[in-house]
Amino acid sequence: MSTKPKYQQALSAVYEELGTDEHGLQQSAATQRLEQYGPNALNQQKATSLLQKFIAQFKDFMIIVLLVAALIAAFTGEAVDAVIILLVVVLNAIFGVFQESKAEEAINALKEMSAPDATVLRDGQLQTVKSDALVPGDVVSLEAGDIVPADLRLIESASLKVEESALTGESVPVEKQAEMIADGELPIGDRLNMAYMNSNVTYGRATGIVVATGMQTEVGRIAGMIEAADETTTPLQANLTQLGKSLTILILVIAAVVFGIGMLRGQESLINMLLTAISLAVAAIPEGLPAIVTITLALGTQRMAKRHALVRKLPAVETLGSTDIIASDKTGTLTQNKMTVEKLVVNQELVDARATELPLDSHLAQVMILSNDTKIMPDGLAGDPTETALIQYNLDQGYPVDQLLTDRPRVTEVPFDSERKLMSTVHPLEDGRFLVAVKGAPDELLKRVTQIESNGDVQPLTKTSRDQILTVNHELATQALRVLAFAYKVITTVPTTVNTETLENDLVFAGMVGMIDPERPEVEQAVAEAKSAGIRPLMITGDHRDTAEAIAVRLGIINAGEDDAVITGAELDAMSDAEFGKKVGDYSVYARVAPEHKVRIVNAWQKRGKVVAMTGDGVNDAPALKAADIGIGMGITGTEVSKGASDMVLADDNFATIVVAVEEGRKVFANIQKAIQYLLSANLGEVLTLFVMTMLGWQILAPVHILWINLVTDTLPAIALGVEPTEKNIMQHKPRGRNSNFFSGGVFSSIIYQGLLEGGITLLVYWLALTYPVHATASLAHADALTMAFATLGLIQLFHAFNSKSIHESLFTVGLFRNKFFNWAILIAFVMLAMTIVVPGLNGLFHVSHLDAYQWGIVALASLSMVVIVEIVKFFQRRHMRRA
């Protein structure tokens, strides 16, 4: 068996290896091989049930911590707290299952893409069979409109063009040929004698021998890469896991220290100290955090959905906010995935096609329309993208295309073939003569041209004019435009023998067009915004180097002349992983790449500690979409495979939507960070209060006090912080990257000093109430002190929520009343806190006393001082940041 790939082997060698010939297999041999190789189908991924997905939500470390806390609370009789924690955990799991219920459909979608039928030569006769019954050695017939049912080595090819963008990313159909290719290792797009499973035949016909089926095909290989890809952990998940572990260790240490010191002092019973330790644990655990994070992410997904970004997995919202690299597929993502006429050469002048209207008697327009196989259907144009672009241009210009086709029907033709690179058609004129319309490659067409039309006059074609045309052709080609030339002549009779010798001579040159798959109009601005946000955009495409470079320059991804920023798949293959890892920062454009190249690019950036977002719409993008920190699929042009492998789908296929999503992701992270700062500083204040009270032998706050404060302050206000409006200039900051966490940017120091401040102020109020009691009775004085401490600890957290509206900006800059939900949350929380003290009956349940106006005044002033002190600290922080 030869080790050479099939495209490098002669057909005789392929026949010998596969045990067949150009007449195909006998049915008996095909049946035997089907048992040997299995069906021509892709592996179907095992479905995950809703129950399995629900159970998987409980594997998160923070969730496990909360479940343990709920068990402890239930064991010690604190049923209310246990129920609250369990409710939070279950709601979090339901949110996760709801968001991920359609995950992992990539392999199944690949299977559904397979062609249902194939025309195959068996027992010496053509017959139609299900594509999953094909086996290596079968001879398959292809025609325009067919989906290639397996990987084929072409035997014969007649003007065959195959659209392979889903596999290669190249927008223009590839002209195929059957001859052996002697070159070395080639990317898929350059294997001209191969046709690959799930690609589309747009023109011509061919026969080919099946060389691979099922998971052995190129599409199958991609399916295997998707199946084997590891799920990446998002920065949000990593941060929450680390936070949960750190909090657990801290909680255990503090609880153990308090319990040990209390027992050594001998002033409290074992059960009382156990309850105290549990109170500390309850105070330290931000049990509302998972729900707040989930709700903030869920609200973020709703906002993003309204802006055409559909999130399939909740953590993807935040991951976008930390993105350093956006590696984007070109075709259909940065470009429109349709050929468009951009330049015209008419009357020997190069002009902008969009600003030029051809007259009704223009021979250039007539040849563009008549020498064309495009079908005008009720739902649009059908045919080769290059030819449909010519018709669409004339339709856009208001040219009567239908009328011309009706008035001048095709009489005969010389079809296009890849050797002469020309196509000619013949049409009747009103005077009984016939128009010969010819289009093709400029250099080939000029060999048959003797005259040139300019402003209605026909003159002999001079060497100067010929050289000028070839110069313009080269100029357009260097701009990555696909160039076609057009010519015509009028004949009195149709030749008896219609071929290139009888028709394609003595032609009149009518003009040229330059076409390209144009960039999306909004992408250039989106690229500029991404760069201003510190995000590096990369272009990854299967197109040729010149085309990729030209589009990248037009979009601003690279500057003109930056040839060293472009690399091809072949050049990438020549590098080791270590060498590429060192040089990956040099490249912004990757041309002529294969699926494994895309994964390699993503992995190289990830090894540098960068958070990588990968966009794509084709089958070939799916492995990289899975490998990236966040895979972004295209909702309109994207295959089901790419959508299934993605974390987020762009409903409008608009690259600019990614920038919107990045802004939303940054906002989500910032709001989660605010909530964490608020919750942890509040919890630290509670822990400090209980710890010092225990150490000093004071009457401590009971578990019911801590639980109620947590219920009141850790829910509505924290959730409200999650929907804070976007702060100004959020897109002017650099990405925080993979190594950042929720404590970055001064958050950790803020949590520490603000928590100490909350605890210190609460303890000061307690000490003042004991030192200067309103009531002379000791028991009443202690009750008042405890109540004032309880009220202060709760109220100070509500005031501190205003501080947390921004990490560094002043409350008065951010705005007091921009977030109506926040204001209502604070009001409701205050009412719930005050009710326990002022409503008769509730104070007994919560073991607190009534406070008079004087005592409430102390509580209010002490709590308000939190805002004043933090505002002063923020002022000096901003001054220091500006100097730095």
Cite the active site residues.
329
CB-based contacts of 278, cutoff 8 Å, min separation 6: 72, 73, 76, 78, 255, 703
* Gap between the Cα atoms of 401 and 569, Å rounded: 42
**Distance, CA of 509 to chain centre:** 47
**How far is the CA of 109 from the CAs of 164, 198, 199, in angstroms?**
18, 12, 15
Neighbours of 810 (CB within 10 A): 14
CB-based contacts of 351, cutoff 8 Å, min separation 6: 343, 344, 345
DSSP 101: T
Greatest alpha-carbon span in the chain:
126
* Gap between the Cα atoms of 499 and 504, Å rounded: 8
Contact call for residues 49 and 96 (beta carbons, < 8 A): no
Task: Give the neighbor-by-neighbor strand order of the sheet with 612-616.
Answer: 309-311, 648-650, 630-634, 612-616, 325-329, 536-540, 589-591, 566-568
Mark out the alpha helices in 38-105 (DSSP H runs): 50-56, 61-75, 79-100
763: number of CA atoms within 13 Å, CB side? Answer: 20
Going by C-alpha positions, the residue among 292, 327, 315, 306 that lies closest to residue 239 is 315
Strands 200-212 and 151-163: antiparallel
Residue reference for tokens 């002697």: 182
622: number of CA atoms within 13 Å, CB side? Answer: 31
Strand partners, 539: 328, 589
Going by C-alpha positions, the residue among 585, 632, 631, 626 that lies closest to residue 604 is 585
Going by C-alpha positions, the residue among 82, 55, 60, 451 that lies closest to residue 234 is 60
Strands 340-346 and 194-195: unpaired
* Gap between the Cα atoms of 295 and 231, Å rounded: 23
Strand partners, 460: 451
Going by C-alpha positions, the residue among 227, 225, 177, 174 that lies closest to residue 199 is 174
Q: Which two tokens stand for residue 238?
A: 């990593």
Strands 449-454 and 507-516: parallel
Contact call for residues 516 and 481 (beta carbons, < 8 A): yes
The three-state secondary structure class of 174 is: strand
433: number of CA atoms within 13 Å, CB side? Answer: 7
Contact call for residues 321 and 669 (beta carbons, < 8 A): yes
